[in-house]
């Protein structure tokens, strides 16, 4: 039998490359493998997600800084900074939901990067808010998976036949990417299926862009026709609504009769409560909101979905490009805020800083990337000057060096890239944001009641 020389040399070359990247100092930044994680892969044991009630306990074990540990032990909350009370309308909407007013709904639109692509952090905030104030439906979901890891908790989806255009990835950007920043071109035979974990959805809406030769979208609920919508017409955005039986959890969308360009589906319940839209794009940065989405189009999309607060949660990807942080980021953050204000005057805007991001230094130690803290300071200052709310995720999770502690924690709370949280780490961040929102809401109610009492005296 002939010796497989080609296979041997291929494997040998790969091993040599891995070793070179590991041990040559000039190549350390391009390391292919995190050796400390090999043992875990070989000796893999499935683990359960950290329950929400265990998050506080986990927080106590993480910080090595005693002041941070004491803060966690006392259950203190990193407050939302909102001196201009820009979230007052958001809190008023929650009050209506909490009071059980018919049709009351509070909606949040959370724009972000890769963690929100997989509904990390946002899924935990959604769960906590809906548990506390009621579930008004899942909200917006992209037509298909732009990335294999795209997904939202509570929804299984599969699709075929789509040409996918993410606003931050296509070379020739026309600006029409819908509420979620991605458009999907399909033809007869293209399909998408959505299976929900829980029943209760009573309305499905499809967002699309009409075109002169546009085909039709057919929606089925549990195998029965829920209706169809032609996308033929002058160029423009449209929304087609389909009522469905609340006990159905299986929905299919098909294309017939010609080409279509769709943005996504909206899944809503008839009950009052919270809708939390997770609008993350892999590799996204602030330019998505400031430049890549055509302003008139995005303004129309925001007005249609009408969130009570828009969360701007970028900075992780920008933090390793110091020139962008120092020369571009502030300008584009202000532009994103301006656009949202044009679309949603009087609605809330919350700038949410990125988490810590780590990298190995020349000594092999994990440290916070240098430009990240400058970026957080820019966000904090811009939020104050623009009169919008700010949540300092970086400080709330422990500040400088947190990813080093998270990586050495048991169970591990961040991946080997020192960027993407594991499910347990995402739960901690989600819980911190939820507690900050709830604290802000309670302060709003207390202040409002005090004002009312003062008027009676």
- What's the pLDDT at 62? 41
Assess whether pLDDT exceeds 90 at residue 368: yes
| 43 & 70 share domain | yes
Q: Residue 282: inside a domain, yes or no?
A: yes
Average pLDDT, the chain: 87
Kindly state the tokens that stand for 293.
């989405």
Q: By the 8 A CB rule, do 393 and 354 touch?
A: yes
- What's the pLDDT at 5? 61
Query: What percent of the chain stands above pLDDT 90?
Result: 79
| 258 & 371 share domain | no
Query: Which range is least confidently modeled, 24-28, 92-96, 262-266?
Result: 24-28
Q: What pLDDT, in 10s, does the model give residues 107-157?
A: 999 999 999 999 999 999 999 999 999 999 999 999 999 999 999 999 999
The predicted model scores a pTM of 0.84
Per-residue DSSP letter, 306? -
Report the helix count and the strand count for the chain, using DSSP H and E.
Answer: 15, 18
Q: How many CB atoms lie within 10 A of CB 98?
A: 17
Q: Residue 456: inside a domain, yes or no?
A: no
Q: Residue 10: inside a domain, yes or no?
A: no
Q: Where do runs of H (alpha helix) occur along 276-422?
A: 287, 295-305, 322-324, 330-343, 370-386, 393-396, 402-408
| 312 & 395 share domain | yes
Q: By the 8 A CB rule, do 318 and 183 touch?
A: no
Q: By the 8 A CB rule, do 350 and 80 touch?
A: yes
Q: What pLDDT, in 10s, does the model give residues 254-302?
A: 999 999 999 999 999 999 999 999 999 999 999 999 999 999 999 999 9
443 CB-near residues (< 8 Å, 6+ apart): none
| Domain endpoint, select from 270, 297, 316 | 270
364: left (phi over 0), alpha (psi -120 to 50) or beta: left
Angstrom CA distances, 422 to 40, 48, 199, 284, 407, stand at: 14, 11, 28, 19, 10
- What's the pLDDT at 57? 40
**CATH number for the domain including 116?**
3.40.50.1110
Per-residue DSSP letter, 356? P
Average pLDDT over residues 399-411: 96
| Domain endpoint, select from 270, 298, 330 | 270
Cα–chain center distance at 195: 20
| 318 & 405 share domain | yes
| 439 & 291 share domain | yes
| 332 & 376 share domain | yes
Total domains present in the chain = 2
- What's the pLDDT at 453? 81
Q: Are strands 163-166 and 309-313 parallel, antiparallel or unpaired?
A: unpaired
Q: Residue 263: inside a domain, yes or no?
A: yes
| 232 & 319 share domain | no
> How far is it, in rounded angstroms, from Cα 140 to Cα 307?
11
Angstrom CA distances, 361 to 25, 28, 204, 310, 421, stand at: 10, 9, 50, 36, 20
Assess whether pLDDT exceeds 60 at residue 311: yes
**CATH number for the domain including 226?**
2.60.120.1360
Assess whether pLDDT exceeds 70 at residue 49: no
Q: By the 8 A CB rule, do 60 and 69 touch?
A: yes
Phi, psi (degrees; rounded to nearest 5) at 107: -125, 140
Q: How far apart are the first and last CA of the chain?
A: 99
Range of the domain at 150: 137-270
| Domain endpoint, select from 222, 246, 270 | 270
- What's the pLDDT at 15? 55
| 121 & 144 share domain | no
| 279 & 265 share domain | no
């Amino acid at each position: 039998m002939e010796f497989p020389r080609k296979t041997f040399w291929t494997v040998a070359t790969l091993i040599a490359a891995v070793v070179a990247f590991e041990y040559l100092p000039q190549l350390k930044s391009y390391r292919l493998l995190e050796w400390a994680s090999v043992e875990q892969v070989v000796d893999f044991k499935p683990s359960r997600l950290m329950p929400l009630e265990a998050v506080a306990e986990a927080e106590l074990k993480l910080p090595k800084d005693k002041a941070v540990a004491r803060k966690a032990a006392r259950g203190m909350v990193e407050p939302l900074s909102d001196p201009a009370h820009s979230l007052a309308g958001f809190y008023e909407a929650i009050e209506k939901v909490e009071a059980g007013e018919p049709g009351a709904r509070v909606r949040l639109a959370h724009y972000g990067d890769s963690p929100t692509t997989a509904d990390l952090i946002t899924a935990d905030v959604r769960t906590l808010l809906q548990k506390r104030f009621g579930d008004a439906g899942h909200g917006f979901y992209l037509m298909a998976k732009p990335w294999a890891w795209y997904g939202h908790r509570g929804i299984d989806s599969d699709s075929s036949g789509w040409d996918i255009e993410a606003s931050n990835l296509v070379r020739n950007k026309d600006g029409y990417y819908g509420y979620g920043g991605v458009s999907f071109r399909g033809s007869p035979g293209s399909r998408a299926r959505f299976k929900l974990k829980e029943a209760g959805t009573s309305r499905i809406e499809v967002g699309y862009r009409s075109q002169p030769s546009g085909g039709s979208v057919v929606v089925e609920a549990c195998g029965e026709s829920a209706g169809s919508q032609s996308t033929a017409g002058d160029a423009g955005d449209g929304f087609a609504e389909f009522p469905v039986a609340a006990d159905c959890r299986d929905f299919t969308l098909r294309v017939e009769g010609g080409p279509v360009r769709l943005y996504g589906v909206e899944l809503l319940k008839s009950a009052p409560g919270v809708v939390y839209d997770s609008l993350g794009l892999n590799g996204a940065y602030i330019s998505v909101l400031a430049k890549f989405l055509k302003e008139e189009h995005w303004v129309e999309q925001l007005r249609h979905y009408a969130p009570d607060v828009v969360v701007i949660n970028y900075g992780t990807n920008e933090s390793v490009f110091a020139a962008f942080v120092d020369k571009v980021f502030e300008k584009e953050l202000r532009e994103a805020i301006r656009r949202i204000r044009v679309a949603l005057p009087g609605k809330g805007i919350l700038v949410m800083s990125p988490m810590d991001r780590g990298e190995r230094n020349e000594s092999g130690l994990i440290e916070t990337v240098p430009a990240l803290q400058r970026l957080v300071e820019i966000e904090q200052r811009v939020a104050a000057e623009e009169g919008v709310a700010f949540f300092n995720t970086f400080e709330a999770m422990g500040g400088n060096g947190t990813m080093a502690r998270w990586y050495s924690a048991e169970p591990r709370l961040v991946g080997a890239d020192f960027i993407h949280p594991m499910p347990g780490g995402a739960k901690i961040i989600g819980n911190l944001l939820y507690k900050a929102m709830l604290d802000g809401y309670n302060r709003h109610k207390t202040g409002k009641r005090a004002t009312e009492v003062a008027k009676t005296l």
